[in-house]
Amino acid sequence: MKKLISTLAAGAAIATVATPAMAQSAPDWTGAHVEALVGYDISRAGSDSDDDLNDQNDQSIDGLAYGAGIGYDYDFGNVVLGVEGQYTDSTAKTEYSDGGDFEGFGLGRVDTGRDLYAGVRAGYKVQPDVLAYVKGGYTNARYNVLSTDGETELKDNIDADGYRLGAGVEYAMTDHTFAKLEYDYSNYSEAEINDTDTFADGDRYDIDTDRHQIMAGFGYRF
């Protein structure tokens, strides 16, 4: 994590050097914003459920994450505090390797569904138009369990609860537009099966699933 934050900070420094100092006055970060998000998404079996005996077992699924977010920030000078919410989805799903081996990650044969996040963030202006920030909050992710009776493919939804921590850099391109790059880590420790005729609805149980995301965003501040 420290190495990642250092890399993001270095990227912010490069962007700052590349932008003429007089090209833009210091923006006001206070206000509501909307943003489009896209990035790389990977879910992995956590330490309590990984397969330490078989190092050939691919215990992860990855794909393209995409979605949208909203938020509100307060500019206190060098410090910016805010609240935010995000709705994303992902193309990640379990697959079979060329040799026929199942590549799962602790939840069975699944594909990823919608991901809800609500949290707060705190940032520091490394330049008037560059904000380095950390974030944290609650996340609820859906994993769709895939099964088949030979003719019809069935899906049962697993809703997983957990927390998310992240860090990133945001650049104010104009007074109203911005771009950002961030890393998010999520851990899910509880889940329930919903909307299904196969399992009991609402039964909660323990899981251990880690999620890593590198997300880029482009947004508009009102």
d(CA 155, CA 141): 15
- Rounded to whole angstroms, what are the CA distances from 66 to 23, 103, 150, 169, 185? 31, 23, 32, 19, 16
Question: Looking at the chain, how many residues does it have?
Answer: 222
- What the chain holds in terms of domains, given with CATH numbers, is 2-20+36-221 (2.40.160.20)
Residue in 8, 1, 15 with CA at minimum distance from that of residue 128: 15
d(CA 40, CA 63): 6
d(CA 142, CA 110): 10
- Tokens read off for 157: 């939804």
Give 99-126 pLDDT, tens digit per residue. 555 555 556 678 888 999 999 999 999 9
Window from 38-52, 85-99, 100-114 with minimum mean pLDDT: 100-114
| Residue 13 pLDDT greater than 60, yes or no | no
What's the pLDDT score for residue 14? Answer: 46
Torsion on CA atoms 93, 97, 101, 104, rounded to nearest 10: -20
pTM of the predicted structure, to 2 decimals: 0.77
DSSP class of residue 152 equals -
d(CA 59, CA 157): 20
Token pair 């990650």: residue: 105
Q: What burial letters (b/e) apply to 59-70, b meaning 16+ CB within 10 Å? A: bbbbbebebebe
**DSSP helix/strand/coil, 210:** strand
Q: Are 168 and 156 in contact (CB under 8 A)?
A: no
